[in-house]
Amino acid sequence: TQEKKLTEKRVVITAGPTVEAIDPVRYISNHSSGKMAFALAKAAKKAGAEVEIVSGPVNLADPAGVTVNHVTSAAQMFEQVKLAVKNCDIFIGCAAVADYTPVKVSCQKIKKNDEQMTLELKRNPDILAWVAEQEDRPFVVGFAAESQSLKEFATKKLHKKKLDMICANDISCEGLGFNSDDNQLLLLDKKGNEELLDVASKEVLACKIINQIVARI
Ligand code: PMT
């Protein structure tokens, strides 16, 4: 049995992809399955925490004893996170939030023709950075999905978004990262500590991440 290290702590975790509608048929999204985030939720629950997930569309069963708020778009995820983070002790941004969304969502299916088409996109709000900016903020953990310069880019995100800790995954490695059962993570914290969590199942890694958070709060 795992020690109850997070009793009386509230943990909020974002999960999965977001889906940004173009028209009633098409959308922009990514390959996140939610497995990493749901494993974190289970590990936090096992450690005694009260856990809430804000999740984009995933094909996973809601973990027992965890509140799951299902959303679709980044805008909806942001609104739900704003409510969820009140009185929260630990926030983990594990979702692959779409960075851009269409400027205009067409109510009707867009008809094709023989011309090229251009889709105009605008930036979505950065949910993780917003949480880290709040006064009286929780302990904030981000993820970084990188296909190159893992440590350099993750370190930049850690500082730019004012995070306490970041878990970086190299998504160029076959069988790791998006939609896989296993992962490998480089943990970096704001004090300059780093730790490599070698290839393991997302469940095993989730427990290790929770232990690393416990050691820092
Ligand atoms: O879901 P799985 O299939 O199990 O895959 C796991 C994962 C690869 C999705 C996960 O381990 C992961 O890396 N999640 C973050 C993916 C990502 O979008 O990274 P990013 O480098 O684009 O974003 C950096 C951080 O900012 C992330 O914590 C992200 O949640 C957050 N963010 C980004 C953009 C935005 N608009 N709002 C955010 O909160």
Ligand 1: atom nearest CA of 35 is 4
The alpha carbon of 165 and the centre of ligand 1 are apart by a number of angstroms equal to 14
Say if pTM beats, i.e. exceeds, 0.90. yes
Tell which atom from ligand 1 comes closest to the C-alpha of 166: 28
Judged against a pLDDT cut of 70, whether residue 28 lies above it is answered with yes
Note whether residue 106 is domain-resident: no
Ligand 1 atom at minimal distance to the Cα of residue 144: 21
**55 touches 69 (CB < 8 A):** yes
Asked whether residue 203 is domain-assigned, the answer is yes
Task: Examine residue 152 and state whether it is found in any structural domain, yes or no.
Answer: yes
CATH number for the domain spanning 84: value is: 3.40.50.10300
Query: Could you report the per-residue pLDDT of 98-138, keeping only the tens digit for each?
Result: 999 999 999 999 999 999 999 999 999 999 999 999 999 99
For residue 19, pLDDT beyond 60: yes
- Annotated binding-site positions for CTP: 93-95, 99, 109, 125-128, 143, 157, 161
Residue 4 counted as domain residue: no
Q: Is the pLDDT of residue 80 over 70?
A: yes
ipTM for the assembly: 0.99
User: What is the count of structural domains for the chain?
Assistant: 1
Phi, psi at 169, each rounded to 5° = -115, 140
Asked whether residue 196 is assigned to any structural domain, the reply reads: yes
Establish whether 124 is a catalytic residue. no
- Nearest-CA residue for ligand 1 atom 33 is 97
Instruction: Please tell me if the CB atom of residue 85 comes closer than 6 angstroms to any atom of ligand 1.
Output: no
Nearest CA to ligand 1 atom 24: 144
Residue 113 forms part of a structural domain: no
- Residues 127 and 70 sit within 8 Å (Cβ to Cβ): no
What is the DSSP track for 176-212? BSTT-SEEEEEEEETTS-EEEEEEEEHHHHHHHHHHH
Question: Residue 112 domain-assigned?
Answer: no
